[in-house]
Amino acid sequence: MSESKTKRKLPKYEVPLWHKSNLSIDEAVAYSGIGKAKLYEMTNREDCPFVLWIGNRRMIKREVFDEYIAKMYSV
């Protein structure tokens, strides 16, 4: 078989969550312990400082999220 017909697998990099600059909602749930529904509620607000929209996909800016959580009394 020629090389063009076979799929080459690219290496998958496993980066720890605390090293990522942006987290998916599922990653943010695992990282923070805050539920998925609560994160969706928090990121739906217009003034949410830690959400990054990539098309319809929402990502969590980890460092800004950490600062936001550190300042909050309750979520």
Cβ atoms of residues 51 and 60 within 8 Å: yes
Residue type, 46: E
**How is domain 17-71 classified at the architecture level of CATH?**
Alpha-Beta Complex (3.90)
Question: Which of 5 and 75 is assigned the larger pLDDT?
Answer: 75
Residues with Cβ within 8 Å of residue 17, at least 6 apart in sequence: 23, 27, 30, 31, 62
Residue partners of 10: CB distance under 8 A and separation at least 6: none
CA-CA distance, 73 to 14, in Å (whole number)? 33
Confidence (pLDDT) at 13 = 77
Q: Could you read off the pLDDT of 10-47 as tens digits, one per residue?
A: 777 788 888 899 999 999 999 999 999 999 999 999 99
